Amino acid sequence: MELFLIRHPEPDVPEGTCYGRSDIGLAEDAGVAAARLRGILPAGIPVYTSPLLRCRSVAERLSPAPAVDARLVEMHFGEWEMRRWDEIEKAVFDAWVADILNFTPPGGESAAQMLARTLAFIDELRAGEAPAAAVLTHGGVLRVLFAHWLEVPPRRWPRLTFAFGGVSKVALGRKDIRVEYLNRK
C-alpha cells in the first residue's frame, strides 16, 4: 500500500505555543493548500483526516467526502495545551524530555498511547482494499509513526521533522516499509 502522509499547513497560533489537540485554524487558506497538494497526490485517491480543523479544512477541499478518524488527532498535551512552552514548569518538562515515549503530560496522553491508536488506524487501513491513501494528520503523529517504522530511538526523535503542508510517501509491505520521500511540497 502506498501512503501519502501529509502534515497540515501552518496553524494560526503564536510561535512557541503548545497547541497539540487544540482545535485551531490555519495561517493560510485551506483551498490554496489543497491546490498545492493536488499537484503531488494521485487523482481520486481516498483521503483520511484528523478531525481537527487544521487538517479537516484541507481534506474537505481535496475530497468530496474525506474519512474523518479520531485516531489521527495530535497528541493530547492536557494542561499544557495553548500554553507557551517556556511557561511549562521546567522539572515537569524535563521529565517529559527524559522519557518522551512514556511520560504523560498532566491531563494528557503519552506518545506511546498516541502511537498505539495511530498504528491501529494504519493496520485497519492496510487490511482494506485500497492500494493507496492520503492521510492528513499532525507532526507528532508522523514523528511517532516514522520513529516506529524506522526504529529511531526516542532521544533522536527531534531529528525527525515534518514540514507544514509537506507530503511524505511510504510504501507499506506486509512486513516492511520503504520511505520514498519526505516533506515534498
pLDDT digits (tens, 9 = 90+) for 133-181: 999 999 999 999 999 999 999 989 989 999 999 999 999 988 889 999 9
Show me where the domains of the chain are located.
Answer: 6-184
Provide the greatest CA pair distance for the chain: 49
Q: Along the 185 residues of the chain, how does pLDDT read in single tens digits?
A: 999 999 999 999 999 999 999 999 999 999 999 999 999 999 999 999 999 999 999 999 999 999 999 999 999 999 999 999 999 999 999 999 999 999 999 999 999 999 999 999 999 999 998 999 999 999 999 999 999 999 999 989 989 999 999 999 999 988 889 999 999 99
- Which among 160, 166, 130 is positioned nearest to 58, based on CA atoms? 166
- Cα separation, 31 vs 36, in Å, equals 9
The dihedral region occupied by 44, where left means phi > 0, alpha psi between -120 and 50, and beta the remainder, is: left
Whose cell is 485517491? That residue is 45
Q: Which helix (H) or strand (E) holds 176?
A: none
d(CA 69, CA 75): 14
Looking at the chain, the whole-number percentage of residues with pLDDT higher than 90 is 96
What phi and psi values does residue 152 have, to the nearest 5 degrees? Answer: -85, 125
Neighbours of 116 (CB within 10 A): 13
pLDDT the model gives residue 26:
98
* CATH code matching the domain that covers 6-184, chosen among 3.40.50.1240, 3.90.180.10, 3.40.50.300, 3.80.30.20: 3.40.50.1240
| DSSP bridge pairs for 3 | 133, 170
